[in-house]
Each structure stands twice: as C-alpha cells, then as structure tokens.
Structure 1
Amino acid sequence: MILYNNLKRFYSIGKFADRLPYTLGQALNETRPNLIKPGDITAGITAQEYYLRRLKLLDKLPAKSCVILPSNITRYASGSVFYKFQQNTDFYYLSGFDEPNSLIILEKPNDNLEESLFHMLVQEKDPFKEKWEGARTGTENSYNFFNADEVYDIKNWKPYLEKILKSSEKVFFNIDYSFSTFANDEIAKVINDSGKTFLNYKRIISENRLIKSEDEIAIIRKCGQISGRSYNEAMAAKIQSEKNLQAFLEYKFISNGLDSSGYIPVVAGGPNALTIHYTINNDIIRDDEMVLIDAGGKFGNYTADISRTFPIMGKFSEPQRELYEAVLDAQRECIKVCSQVVSGGVSFADLHNFSRELLYRNLQQLGGFKDLEKNIDVLYPHHIGHYLGLDLHDVPSISMKEALKENSVITIEPGIYCPADDSFVPKHYQNIGIRIEDNVALLADGNYSNLTVEAVKEVVDIENVIANGTNRSMSESFLKPLI
C-alpha cells in the first residue's frame, strides 16, 4: 500500500498554484503545464505507468532482493564546458527522474509487492550551485513529485546502501563502462564489502522495456509524424549545403513540436552516402546528386529514426531511380511481412535474411553486377534494423536471433552502397548510396503500424514534394492529421 498511497499523493499536487514557490530540476506539470499533462511525470507517461514498471520488474525477482540503479553523471568536454546531460535509460524508465548524480534502489522485502519500497537518493538543493548549474529537485520535492517511499541526500549514499544490503539476500546491479554512471566502482565495492555478490539485472529490465505500452507507442508515433512532415519540408527546401539542410531539418523538428534531434543526423550528399554513419555534414550537394538523410526528432526521451534518400533538385536520374526502386521494393516487402512475424516466430535475423534475398534478386534483375552473390554483403553491409525506444538502438541485450514480440517497435532499413572504381559495380551505379527507413510497431493479432508513414518515399511523391512544396496533393498517408 505504500507505493499506492504515494501514487495518490502525486495526483493531489495539482492543487498548487500556476507558479510554485520553488524550482525543480526538470519539467513537471506544476511548473511546465505547457509540456506535461496533469498526472504525467514525463511527457506522455503517467505516474501510474512508472509505478507499474517498477512492480513489473520486482515481480520477476525473489523476495529479500534489491535492485540498485545509478543515474548518469554530467560529462565535460573541456574545463567547465559540459555536454548536454543524457540520463541512464534504465534509471529513467523506472523513475522518470532526469537529473545526474542520483541513485534509485528498488527493495522487495517479501513476496507481497505492495510492501516493496522505492528509494531515491538525489542531490540536495544548494542555492549557490543552482545559481550556476541550474535548479535541482532536492529531497523533499523528489518525495512529493516522484512517489518515492524514502528519499535521502546522495552525499550519504554509502551508509544508506549498506543498511539495505544487510536485509537483502539477492542484489541486482549492473556495471557497464560504456556509460558514465554515478559511483559505479564504489557501489560495486560496497556490495562486495558487505559479503554479497551482485547479479546483472540488464536482461530482466530489457525484456520489460522491449514490450511498449500504448502510451510509449503513441509518443514514438508523435515523433514519427512530426519528423516525417519535417522531412517533407526539408525535401521541398532544395538546400544544397549539408550543414544548412541539417539545421533546417532540426529547426523543423523543434518548431513543429518535438524537443530536439534524437541523435546526430546523417546528411550525406552524393558519394558521402557511402559512409554509413557520415555525420561531419559539411559538404556541398551538387545539382545531379542525391542526399541521404538519417535523422529523427525526439520527444519525452523517445525518438523517431527515419532515413530517406532523394535527388536534391527533384528529379531522379535513370540509374538513381533504378537503384532506389530496388531498395524501396525490398523495404515495402519487409514492412508487409510484419503482419506475420510475431505469429510465425520470425526473428530479426530472419527478417534481415529476407531483406538480403530481396535486394539480391532486385540487383540481379537490374543486371551488370559481377559476382553478386559474393559481393551482396559489400553492397548491403548493415542489418535490416533494430529495436527502438528510449535508446535509439534499444535493448541491445535482446538477441537478433530471438523471435520478434508483440508490442515492440522496430526499424526497417535496407540499403545499397555502390563504391566507385570497383569492377563488380556497373559504372552508372557507382558512388550512389541509398537507404530507406521506417519505424514499425508490431501490434496484436497480426496488425502493425508504420509510425513514420508521413515521410514520403514513393518516387512520384518525392518528385512532387520537391517540385511543388508540401501543400499540393500527394499520397493519402501524408494527409493524415498530426496527433
């Protein structure tokens, strides 16, 4: 009942005035009602959903266990120049708390989930530091707004953790040095000094994160809709500078209602598209070249991930069109079979092999490629896609060989990259790179939804958008209203 009562406490806070008499470290409805709805902790995700996420994780754990999750820390580029803060997504998924130098602990004393405890250890408010670094939520506000059962000053985390460890028989903690998390090695030492060993929780939480709620899918859909329409506006702009095209697209993401870009965009004109993760984005796009863009807008820490390739001046040459249609056909077919993947026990690896066979067939029909069977993996060197969620490449601990699951979100992204001066590539296809990517939700009963359908990809639609702008008639999917 403790967590339930805290949930009720959260919903009662709406009685506060429009401007609270204190500041918080992140947007909440009480301070940013233009961004966060009543009852939500973060954009589109309710306090109840965060509560249920914690219970779902604890339900998979034995009695007398605890889960220890540190937040990320602020990283510095040089001196006092800091990078934009990016939260540990497991930490964020369970709490919605978006501040550095923090710790959450989920404790399950017995098999009664209602007696489980949610501990938060956060930075206390400090007027001097907040003047320079921005507001902190602090312990009292964290208790009031984030439904914790106990909140403590992070400065004294060691004795607090030692106390919890005394009553915990199973300890779940994950060390991953690819992230800059708070007190990683020190936490491991405290656990070891207590005589306990710790178990990795990553697989357990990844299984939960893999299956998206209706609210999560709705947020990714919003990212996809707005990002897709922003793409169309960028196509119509005919901007022949990679960096200016990137700036225009990111401006459209934000001005149309998203928070930011979800990742550093790829804006690759001409042969630059042969580099899969080309992000320097500082070249000129020539009149006869196509540009490959891989970008997506972010909202509430979820992101879209879209790739489109189009002729910068609006007309495909014959070789460009032929290669483009070969990739587009493969992408269409892969999306179509999303109605069968869950019921058929299809894995991501199976879907990739299907896309490889389609591209091989399509290139073979075009003709001119030598030793195609041997060279198909040179022309198509990356995987068909990945899971999508709070991380761009979400839940990597879920193997590509595992069967795809209902209510997961995946990307479908075949590509072709034809190098220059290679004897197996026909001359007229050399220096062309093409990739087309959409985001697909695998829904119940064999249904699926293309979450990025607004971004035009048919040849006729691309040429119409570039010739006439985004206000002329085009495919029905483009005309669907925004969320």
Structure 2
Amino acid sequence: MLLSRLFFRGISSSVKVCESQFFKRLIPVDEYCERQAKLVNLIVNHVKKNNFSYSNVGSLIVVSGAKRMYTADTRIPTIHFKQNSDFLYLTGLNTKEAAHTVLIILGPDAKSKLFQSFLFVPFSSQLQLIWEGEGLKDGHYQSHLSQISHVVEDISKLPQFLKSHSDRPIFMCRAGLELIPPTISGHKAGMDQDTPIKPLDGYKTFDLSPFIDRLRLFKSPNEVNAMRRTCTIGAEAVNATRIWSQTQLESNKKNYGIQGVSENQIAAEFEFAARSAGAVKPSYPPVVAGGPRTTIIHYGANDKLVYPNEWILMDAGCEDIEGYISDITRCWPILASESNSKNRISQALYEALCEVHQQIVVYLENRALETSLNDLYHLMCHLLGSVLSEFNLCPSGDQAALLADHFCPHHVSHYLGLDVHDTPTVNRDINLEPGMCFTIEPGLYFRKGDSRIKEEFEGIGLRVEDNYIINANGKPENLTAGVSQIFSS
C-alpha cells in the first residue's frame, strides 16, 4: 500500500530509496548506562566541590517520563507523544508506553561505590491492557529495560521509597515530577480520570538541568549518526515538498477548482515525505506561510492558499526513532513570473540572505573553536545591515546593523539535539567545541504597516536555516546540505 502510494504520487522520484538504517536504533543500550554513570559523576563532584553536609550519603536523581496527553475529554491519546528529553537521554524509552514512569538513580554512598537505577512504572489494570496494550511489558522494550538495575511495577511505592532516602540531596530535571497513576491518586485502577500528585513536596531539591544539559550538549559518535540521519531525512523531505508544491497548481485547479496551493497541503506533503523516509513524526508543528504571512515567525495556522507569484516560507523538521531532531527553513515561489515586481524583489532579497548565510559559514570554518553562537549573531546583524543598505532600506554603517535586529528579531542560532531548542541552560556565549550541534538561520521580515520600509517590500518574510555540527577536526559540517538553498520556479 505504502509503496504503491509513493509511486502513484511521484514521491519516489524525489525521496531517495530508504535504507534500512533509517528505521533502526543507532544508540546501543549500553550507552544509556554510560550516560547515567557520567551524570552521577558530575553530581558527585559537584557535591564534593561545594562541601554539601550530606556528601557521605550519596545523591538521588529523579527524572520523570512525559505525561500522556488525551484528546478533549476522552481517553484517546493525542496523535503525537513527545517524551521528556532528559528521561529519553538516560533510558532510550522513546515511547508513550513509558509515560508517567519515573527514573530514580541512587548515587554511590559510604556503603557502596556503585550507583543503582530504579524505574517506577504505573500499574496497568486488565481494562487498560485491553485498551492500551501491555505497555513496557511488551518484549520490544526489554533490551532498554535491561540497563535499569530495578524495574518496580508499582509506582505507588515511590513516595515511601523517596522517604526512605530523604537524607540524600535530590536533583530533579526541569520537567519536575507530576505523577498521574490511578494507584496513587486515589481512583480505582482503570479508565477513570486521574488526579496529579507531587510526592516531592517538602523535600530539599536541586536543579538537575545544568548537569544533564552539559552532557547532552556534546553529541557522542552514535548521536552524531542519529543527527545525520534525521537531518538527511528532513532535507530530502523539503526537496520533495518543494517539487510537489510547484507542480500542484494545475492539479488543484482541475480537481478542486482552486487557483492556489493550500498551506495545509504543503505541510501534509512534508510530513508524508519525511515519515515515508524513516521519520517518526514532525519535530514541531510546521510553519508553512504564504505571501504576507511569511512575516509571522511562528505562524503555524497553515490554513490559507498560496497563489502564483507568492512565496512560501516553510519551517519544518522531523524526529527519528531515537528522538533526534532536524530544523530546516527554506523559501521558494509558486509559479513565479519574472515580470512580477514583488517576485523579483523577493528573489533578490533571498539570494542576498543566502549569501549572508554562506558568509557566516565561511567565518565559522576559519575559527569555529574560537567562536560562540552569540558571536555569530553579531556577525549576522552586521551582514544584514549591509543587505539593508544595499537595498536602500536604511543608511549604511552602525545604524544599519542596529536596524537589522528590528527586521530579524530572533537569534541566528540555537543548540539542537533531542529538543528543537536544546540544552537551554547552556549559555550561547561559550565557544563552540566538537560534538556541538546548532542551527544557522538568518532571516528578514518586512511586516505590512512598518513605516521604516518602502511599500514594495511590505509583506516579504524570508529565512534560510541549516543544521550544523562541529566535527572531530573542529570544522562545521552541514547536516542539511542535501537540500538546496535557492530554488527556481
């Protein structure tokens, strides 16, 4: 069915034949245990360095799985489940079956030099088994559970477990801890609506986020392969979507009697192409904006038509089976005419923006290990200032660079990994190092009604975004090089 649909729609000529590696796990199970050990060591060293009064009793790390979300007032799960990235990083359990589970890691103490991990799993009633399956009891998850020291299939025991270790400093991830199992909430086990409970109220807790972000910032060789995979899939899906969008006008006119291409159609085409090539789901709700809506940075409604001579800005990415994310933005016209003045301006601006992007990359290639993301931001503002001057949108010099911040109100880069805006506690002032993954995304947005711009520029929004990693040689590698920056109509 899938192969025939691919052939019928012509996607097979745009998306490369899927290799089996696109559908398999790339992170070995023992790497998750290594990550737990590294996290414990960071905490142990922190406790010793800061002379905690309880340095002899060991620490306790608490990381909860994400909540399972339901549609409206039903028990029907929402279409996409997003696992808590910290929990995923430490367990590899990228599945809704691990919702509401809690990972506890007991650090070494005076009695033992080894750490122990515990996974507390909500009790499943017979009714839940019928409606939702076996959960983590399914043999598919046994390899990942094998790296957990103890699996406790009764989460109601968690509060007593925490109480028995109340002398330890507790380090919690940024997601906090909100359990919703029926066995704790007081409801009968089954399909009843559950009530949240926070069993760590009253305990002395510390923020785990800076420690785990420090680990997640530097991608292991296996993580680099996962990032290459998800970025390759995303890049090919963008290419396929662009080709499809530029050939869909005639089909829409013939079949539906409309003169444009729907933003929603384009968003659906990207998701279809990405998932057909091995992605699990989109990284985030895609932005597919046409015409003047391209100036709305987080548009997302995707419910309008894009007409001939209008440009599309698509900000989209995908997530692979391991949970790693791509984040790509491209712009292109729909059946553009060279005689259309707005199209000519958009094309010239977009080419200038691509040149800005390239100049940032060249700068990075020469001094990556001496450069921070904030350095790249200041460079982008300087380069965008030159573009604004070139198009007579403002005077040259320092004023132009300052005005660039007005026309591009977002940063040029953010870290990337298991989250779109990864490792948020890590400052963008630090120099880049091998293993760091990030975006480069200069943009220009000329909103209607802005008195600072000429009328012919109003309603033009453009951005070009690629994903990079600093390789072992200290050089930037473009993970999304497979997607062209400049497209013809």
TM-score (norm 2): 0.79
Q: Which amino acid aligns with 1:278?
A: Y
Residue aligning to 1:58:
40
Alignment partner, residue 198 of structure 2 = 186
Work out whether residues 101 and 154 of structure 1, in 8 Å CA contact, stay in contact via their aligned partners in 2: no
The alpha-carbon deviation at position 75 of structure 1 amounts to: 2.3
**How far has the Cα of 1:381 moved from its partner?**
0.9
- The range that moved more, 391-400 or 433-442, is 391-400
Report the alpha carbon displacement of residue 174 of structure 1 after superposing the two structures with TM.
4.0
Establish whether residue 454 from structure 1 lines up as the match of residue 482 from structure 2: yes
Q: CA deviation at 1:268?
A: 0.3
2:64 maps to: 70
The runs of 5 or more residues in structure 1 that have no matched partner are: 1-32, 38-42, 467-483
Please report how far the alpha carbon of residue 34 of structure 1 lies from its aligned counterpart in structure 2 after TM superposition. 9.3
* Matched residue type, 2:164: K
Asked whether 1:380 is paired with 2:392, we answer no
SS of the aligned residue for 1:350 comes to helix
CA distance 1:429–1:224, change in 2 (3 Å): same
* 314 and 230 in structure 1: CA distance in 2 versus 1, 3 angstrom threshold: farther
Deviation, 1:446, is: 2.4
Give the whole-Å Cα distance in 2 for the aligned partners of 1:387 and 1:352.
13
Residue 93 of structure 1 pairs with residue 89 of structure 2? yes
Structure 2 gaps, min length 5: 1-19, 45-55, 182-195, 249-260
Which residue does 2:117 correspond to in 1?
Answer: 118
**Structure 1 residues 124, 143: closer, same or farther in 2, change over 3 A?**
farther
Letter in 1 for 2:233: I
When residues 218 and 113 of structure 1 are mapped into structure 2, their CA distance, relative to the original with a 3 A threshold, is: farther
Looking at structure 2, the residues matched to 222 and 66 of structure 1 have their Cα atoms a distance apart, in angstroms, of 35
Aligned partners of 1:379 and 1:418 also within 8 Å? yes
Cα deviation code 1:412-451 (max 9, x no counterpart): 0000011224332123222110000000001223222100
Matched residue, 2:305: 284
Judged with a 3 Å threshold, the aligned counterparts in structure 2 of structure 1 residues 248 and 404 are, in CA distance, closer, same or farther, namely: same
The residue type paired with residue 137 of structure 1 is L
1:267 is aligned to: 288
2:430 to 402, 416, 419: 402
How do 1:16-415 and structure 2 match up within 5 A?
Answer: 43-62=25-44, 64-80=58-74, 81-83=76-78, 84-97=80-93, 98=95, 99-110=98-109, 115-138=114-137, 145-146=144-145, 147-152=147-152, 153-166=154-167, 168=168, 170-174=169-173, 176=175, 186-189=198-201, 192=203, 197-237=204-244, 238=246, 239=248, 240-300=261-321, 301-313=323-335, 317-344=343-370, 346-369=371-394, 372-373=400-401, 375-415=403-443
Q: Displacement of 1:406 after TM fit?
A: 2.0
Query: SS at 1:222's partner residue?
Result: helix
Please give the alpha-carbon distance, in whole angstroms, between the structure 1 residues aligned to 2:393 and 2:83: 49
Distance across 2 between alignment mates of 1:447 and 1:216: 17
The code of the aligned residue for 2:316 comes to A
Cα distance in structure 2, aligned partners of 1:444 and 1:198: 37
Give the Cα–Cα distance (whole angstroms) in 2 for the partners of residues 325 and 234 of structure 1.
20
C-alpha distance in structure 2 between counterparts of 1:419 and 1:445, whole Å = 42
Q: Which moved more, 1:387-396 or 1:235-244?
A: 235-244
Rounded to whole Å, the distance in 2 between the matches of 1:127 and 1:417 is 55
1:49, distance to aligned residue in structure 2 (A):
0.9
Change (3 A) 1:245 1:140: closer
Cα deviation, 1:311-351, whole Å, max 9, x if unaligned, reads 1125673211221122111111112233345421x221111
RMSD: 2.6
**AA in 2 matched with 1:226:** I
The offset of 1:90, in angstroms, is: 0.5
Contact 2:317 2:328 in 1 (8 A): yes
C-alpha displacement of 1:298: 1.3
Rounded Cα–Cα distance in structure 2 between residues aligned with 1:442 and 1:359: 24
The one-letter amino acid of 1:276's match is I
- Cα 1:311–1:36 change in 2 (3 A) is closer
CA drift of 1:211 comes to 0.4
Distance 1:175 1:389, change over 3 A: closer
* Distance of 2:430 and 2:222 partners within structure 1: 25
Deviation at 1:54, TM superposition (A): 0.5
Displacement of 1:128 in angstroms is: 1.9
Cα deviation per residue 1:51-109 (whole Å; 9 max; x = unaligned)?
11111101112261111112221123411143233211111110112311111111112
Q: Say if 1:280 and 1:273 are closer, same or farther in 2 by CA, change over 3 A.
A: same
Q: Which SS does the other structure have where 1:453 is aligned?
A: coil
Match of 1:442 among 470, 475, 481: 470
Q: In the TM superposition, what whole-angstrom CA distance separates every residue of 1:373-416 from its partner, at most 9, and x where no partner exists?
A: 55322211111021111111101111222222321100000000
Q: Structure 1: how far apart are the matches of 2:363 and 2:403?
A: 26
Inter-partner Cα distance in structure 2 for 1:207 and 1:127: 42
Tell me the SS of whatever aligns to 1:439: strand
Query: TM-score normalised to the size of structure 1?
Result: 0.80
